[in-house]
C-alpha cells in the first residue's frame, strides 16, 4: 500500500504555536499531507502550521478535540484519502513511531491501530498514569477486549470505517467514545508500542474537569455497552 498517497495526518490543536511547526515537519517525513485543525487558537498556531506546509482548517472558537478531530477527518475525506493518522500538536507523539502504525495495519488488516504508552511510563506524570490505567481497565471490562492504553490519541484509522461510527463528544472523551463505538461493530483494535514523551509545557487536559466529563459520558453509554457485549465479528 502506498501510504504516502492514501493516508493523511490529522492534528487537532489549540495554542500550540511553539511546537506545531516542528511537529508538522517531522510528520511530513512519513506522510506528506498534514491537516492541522486550529481549534480557535489565539497564539498564531495556524500561521506556524501553514509555514510548515500543513493544510489548515480554522475553527472560529475553541470547540474541543472531538469537534476539531471530526473536522479534520472530513477534510481528509474530501481530499480523497482512505486513512487518517491522528496525533497531537504538542510534541508528545514521536513521528518516528509512524511506520509502526502503518506496518501493523498492513500486516494485521486492523482498521484501527492505537499507540500504547503503558510499557514505558517512567516519564508520564503520576496522575496521568493512574487515570490512563483506571480508564483503560474500565473500558476493557465494558467492551470485553484488552485495551492497554485507551486514552492515547496517537491512532491510525481506516477513514470509511471511522466516519461510519456515531461519535458525538466534543472534547477529550473522543478517544474513549471512538473505542466503544468501534468495539460495538464487533471489531478489535490493534495496539503498537510508542514512545512516552512529555514536553515541559502544561497539558491541555484538566484532571478534575475532564475526568468528571468522562464519568458523565461513561454513565450515558448503557445502550452501546449492551451492543458491545452481544456483537462480535469472527
Q: What pLDDT shows up at residue 231?
A: 41
| DSSP one-letter code for 81 | -
| CA–CA distance, 174 with 193 (Å, rounded to integer) | 21
pLDDT in tens, 5-25: 999 999 999 999 999 999 999
Q: Tell me the pTM.
A: 0.83
> What is the average per-residue pLDDT within 49-70?
96
What is the reported pLDDT for 204?
Answer: 55
Domain ranges of the chain: 3-227
pLDDT at 62: 95
Measured between alpha carbons, how far is residue 58 from residues 2, 11, 39, 75 in Å?
29, 12, 7, 12
Calculate the alpha carbon distances from 97 to 55, 84, 107, 140, 202 in Å. 22, 15, 16, 24, 23
pLDDT of residue 232: 43
Under 8 Å between Cβ of 29 and 95? yes
Per residue in 144-157, pLDDT (tens digit) is 888 999 889 999 99
- Domain 3-227 in CATH: superfamily? Spore Coat Polysaccharide Biosynthesis Protein SpsA; Chain A (3.90.550.10)
| 41-45, 171-175, 219-223: which is most confident | 41-45
C-alpha 81/C-alpha 77 separation (Å) is 5
Amino acid at each position: 500500500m502506498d501510504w504516502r498517497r492514501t493516508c493523511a495526518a490529522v492534528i487537532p490543536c489549540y495554542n500550540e504555536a511553539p511546537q506545531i511547526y516542528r511537529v508538522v515537519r517531522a510528520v511530513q517525513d512519513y506522510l506528506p499531507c498534514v491537516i492541522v485543525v486550529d481549534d480557535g487558537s489565539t497564539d498564531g498556531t495556524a500561521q506556524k502550521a501553514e509555514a510548515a506546509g500543513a493544510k489548515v482548517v480554522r475553527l472560529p472558537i475553541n470547540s474541543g478535540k472531538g469537534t476539531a478531530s471530526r473536522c479534520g477527518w472530513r477534510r481528509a475525506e474530501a481530499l480523497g484519502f482512505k486513512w487518517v493518522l491522528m496525533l497531537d500538536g504538542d510534541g508528545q507523539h514521536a513521528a518516528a513511531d509512524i511506520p509502526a502504525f502503518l506496518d501493523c495495519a498492513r500486516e494485521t488488516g486492523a482498521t484501527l491501530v492505537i499507540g500504547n504508552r503503558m510499557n514505558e511510563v517512567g516519564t508520564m506524570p503520576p496522575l496521568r498514569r493512574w487515570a490512563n490505567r483506571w480508564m483503560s481497565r474500565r473500558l476493557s471490562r465494558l467492551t470485553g477486549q484488552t485495551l492497554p492504553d485507551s486514552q492515547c490519541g496517537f491512532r491510525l484509522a481506516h477513514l470509511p470505517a471511522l466516519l461510519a461510527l456515531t461519535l458525538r463528544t466534543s472534547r477529550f472523551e473522543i478517544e474513549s467514545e471512538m473505542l466503544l463505538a468501534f468495539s460495538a461493530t464487533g471489531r478489535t483494535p490493534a495496539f503498537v508500542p510508542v514512545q512516552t514523551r512529555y514536553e515541559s509545557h502544561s497539558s491541555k487536559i484538566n484532571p478534575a474537569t475532564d475526568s468528571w466529563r468522562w464519568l458523565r459520558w461513561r454513565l450515558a453509554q448503557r445502550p452501546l455497552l449492551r451492543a458491545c457485549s452481544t456483537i462480535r465479528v469472527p
